[in-house]
Structure 1
Amino acid sequence: MAQYEYIYGIHALESVIEREPERLIELFVLKGKDEKSVHTLINQARRFGASIQFCQRKTLDEKADSEQHQGVVARVKPGKTYNDNDLAAIVAANPQVFLLVLDGVTDPHNLGACLRTADGAGVHAVIVPKDNSASLTPVVRKVACGAAEVVPLVQVTNLARTLRDLQGMGVWIVGTAGEADKNIYECKLSGPMALVMGAEDKGMRRLTREHCDELIKLPMAGSVSSLNVSVATGVCLYEIVRQRG
Structure 2
Amino acid sequence: MRDRDRKPKFHRSEGSKGADKRPERRRETGRRPPWRGREGADDDTVILYGWHTVTAALANPRRQIRKLLLTENAARRLTEDKIDTRVTPEIVRPNLIDQRLGPDAVHQGLLMEADPLDSPGIDTLAEAGIVLVLDQITDPHNVGAIMRSAAAFAVKAIVTTARHSPEATGVLAKSASGALELVPLVTVQNLARSLNEMNERGFMTVGLDSQGHENLGAVALQEPLALVLGAEGKGLRQLTRETCSVVARLDMPGEIKSLNVSNAAVLALYIGASRLGLMG
Alignment counterpart, residue 206 of structure 1, candidates 235, 238, 242: 238
Query: Deviation at 1:41?
Result: 7.0
TM-score by length of 2: 0.78
Say if 2:114 is the partner of 1:53.
no
TM-score by length of 1: 0.88
In the TM superposition, 1:40-189 aligns within 5 A as 40=80, 44-45=84-85, 48=86, 50-66=87-103, 67-76=105-114, 78-82=115-119, 86-90=121-125, 94-189=126-221
2:32 aligns with none
| Alignment check: 8 A CA contact 2:204 2:222 kept | no
Task: Call closer, same or farther: CA 1:184–1:218 in 2, change over 3 Å.
Answer: same
Task: Call closer, same or farther: CA 1:64–1:20 in 2, change over 3 Å.
Answer: farther
| Alignment check: 8 A CA contact 1:6 1:64 kept | no
The one-letter code matched in structure 2 to 1:57 is: P
Query: Deviation at 1:6?
Result: 2.1
> Which 10-residue stretch deviates more, 178-187 or 17-26?
17-26
How far apart, in 2, do the equivalents of 1:169 and 1:101 lie? Answer: 15
How far apart, in 2, do the equivalents of 1:145 and 1:64 lie? Answer: 17
Task: Call closer, same or farther: CA 1:144–1:174 in 2, change over 3 Å.
Answer: same
The one-letter code matched in structure 2 to 1:75 is: E
Say if 2:76 is the partner of 1:39.
no
1:5 aligns with 46
Unmatched 5+ stretches in structure 2: 1-35, 37-42
Query: Deviation at 1:238?
Result: 1.2
Query: Deviation at 1:32?
Result: 4.4
How far apart, in 1, do the equivalents of 2:45 and 2:164 lie? Answer: 24
How far apart, in 1, do the equivalents of 2:82 and 2:100 lie? Answer: 18
Which is greater in Rg? 2
Higher helix residue share = 1
Q: Deviations over 1:55-77 (max 9, x none)?
A: 2222111223441111111122x
Query: Deviation at 1:151?
Result: 0.8
How far apart, in 1, do the equivalents of 2:202 and 2:156 lie? Answer: 16
Identity %: 31
The one-letter code matched in structure 2 to 1:55 is: V
Query: Deviation at 1:42?
Result: 8.1
Task: Call closer, same or farther: CA 1:216–1:25 in 2, change over 3 Å.
Answer: same
The one-letter code matched in structure 1 to 2:94 is: R
How far apart, in 2, do the equivalents of 1:232 and 1:81 lie? Answer: 28
Structure 2 counterpart SS, 1:207: helix
Structure 2 counterpart SS, 1:19: coil
1:25 aligns with 66
The one-letter code matched in structure 2 to 1:154 is: V
How far apart, in 2, do the equivalents of 1:197 and 1:63 lie? Answer: 33
Task: Call closer, same or farther: CA 1:55–1:41 in 2, change over 3 Å.
Answer: farther
How far apart, in 1, do the equivalents of 2:172 and 2:84 lie? Answer: 23
Structure 1 counterpart SS, 2:89: strand
Question: How many pairs align?
Answer: 235
